[in-house]
Amino acid sequence: MDWREHIHSDPEILRGKPVVKGTRLSVDFILGLFAAGWTEKQVLENYPLLTPEKLRAVLAFAAGGIRKKVSPREGRRMKLDLKEQYIVDRQGLKVAVILPLAQYEQLLEDLHDLAVVAERREEETISLDEVEKRLKENGLL
């Protein structure tokens, strides 16, 4: 399967995260559904723009990234080489920081990711073997 037929990355959509073409559904979001125990049927019922073939493309994309040890964002994630500029009060104390908008947006996205992790910290974790088993049961591997 050539995942490129179904997955693409556009800086204007979800800050360049790989998404299923024609949607705003990112690869990592869909993988997260499976990791949370969703079945293929549940994903397809809840996201009618997806098809079994598009789900296989998501998995092929993820597998390719793991095999090549490449970031799913294919290097698009910005390095936070901050050159901070500060706003100071009359006493010279820092009261605010000035950041380029792209860095600010990246920080917001990272904070959101951390909030999701914190919200899900009580969820049961499953092993990689269990993920593979579930994917095979659902015909996705």
Taking only the tens place, the pLDDT of each residue in 12-23 is: 888 888 999 999
Q: What is the distance, to the nearest Å, from the Cα of residue 97 to the centroid of all Cα atoms in its chain?
A: 27
For the entire predicted model, the pTM comes to 0.50
- The pLDDT tens digits for 44-89 are 999 999 999 999 999 988 887 665 544 444 444 444 555 678 899 9
Domain extents in the chain:
3-137
Max Cα-Cα span within the chain: 65
Tell me, which fold does domain 3-137 have in CATH? Answer: Arc Repressor Mutant, subunit A (1.10.10)
For tokens 């397809």, name the residue. 44
Mean pLDDT of the chain: 82
